[in-house]
Amino acid sequence: MDKFFTAADAALRTLFARPAAAERSPAAGMAEGDLSDDERKLAGALMRVNHVGEVCAQALYNAQAMVTRDMQLREHLLEAAREETDHLAWTRERLDALGDRPSLLNPLWFAGAFAIGVVAARISDAASLGFVVETENQVSVHLESHLGRLPEEDQASIAVVARMKEDEERHAQAALDEGAVILPPAVQSLMRIAAKVMTTTAHRI
């Protein structure tokens, strides 16, 4: 029951509360760039997609922590979720600075990622961690593409995305160190398709 309430609290905080970062944003103190309307719209859309990714990360880690019976692994997953809260806060701050908003479909994204996390965790802890590895690897590639698409003048968003990429790669390695199994290629492909649907939709809605 305690695990359930922890997961429920995470859902409410992720979807309805203003996230508070434990660490100062990489963009803190940086001047806002002189962006055209089109550049600002693009940067806002990209940061909305990144914010959705952090909403899903909260759902995934908390679902896995709720299901696992390994208390050491549970603490590892909850610690990762706490670190991802910084990303959630940083991307929300960038959306505010750019005059944009989070995705209107965040409750849907959270629910979907939570369900996937529960299913993966029920298979085995190794499979659950394997899902983390593949998710973080795909997110890292996705963030790398954003570094090439964000307007050069938006150095604040670029700083946030670059730091997030470093952290996601570290989380993937940590999951491998905890005993993750590499997911089958077919599962990896399905995850890429699902991610493409989510990012394309979140870019606009």
The stretch 100-128 carries a mean pLDDT of 88
Helix or strand run (H / E) with residue 172? helix 155-177
20/49 Cα distance (integer angstroms): 19
Domain membership of residue 31 (yes or no) is no
Domain membership of residue 146 (yes or no) is yes
11/58 Cα distance (integer angstroms): 8
Structural domain count of the chain: 1
Q: Of 14-18, 89-93, 199-203, where does the model show the most confidence?
A: 89-93
Domain membership of residue 32 (yes or no) is no
Residue 114 structural domain: 2-11+37-202
**CB-hemisphere CA count at 13 Å for 107?**
5
Domain membership of residue 50 (yes or no) is yes
Domain membership of residue 29 (yes or no) is no
Give the pLDDT confidence score for residue 12 in this predicted structure.
67
pTM score, whole prediction = 0.88
Q: Which residues contact 138 (CB under 8 A, 6 or more apart)?
A: 191, 192, 195
Q: Are 161 and 43 in contact (CB under 8 A)?
A: no
Residue 26: pLDDT band by 50, 70, 90 thresholds?
very high
114/152 Cα distance (integer angstroms): 35
26/73 Cα distance (integer angstroms): 29
Domain membership of residue 21 (yes or no) is no
The more confident residue out of 171 and 13 is: 171
Q: Which of 7-16, 43-52, 178-187 has the lowest mean pLDDT?
A: 7-16
Domain membership of residue 177 (yes or no) is yes
Q: What are phi and psi of 201, to 5 degrees?
A: -70, -45
Q: In the predicted model, what is the mean pLDDT of the chain? A: 87
The CATH number assigned to the domain holding 65 equals 1.20.1260.10
Q: Are 100 and 202 in contact (CB under 8 A)?
A: no
Domain membership of residue 123 (yes or no) is yes
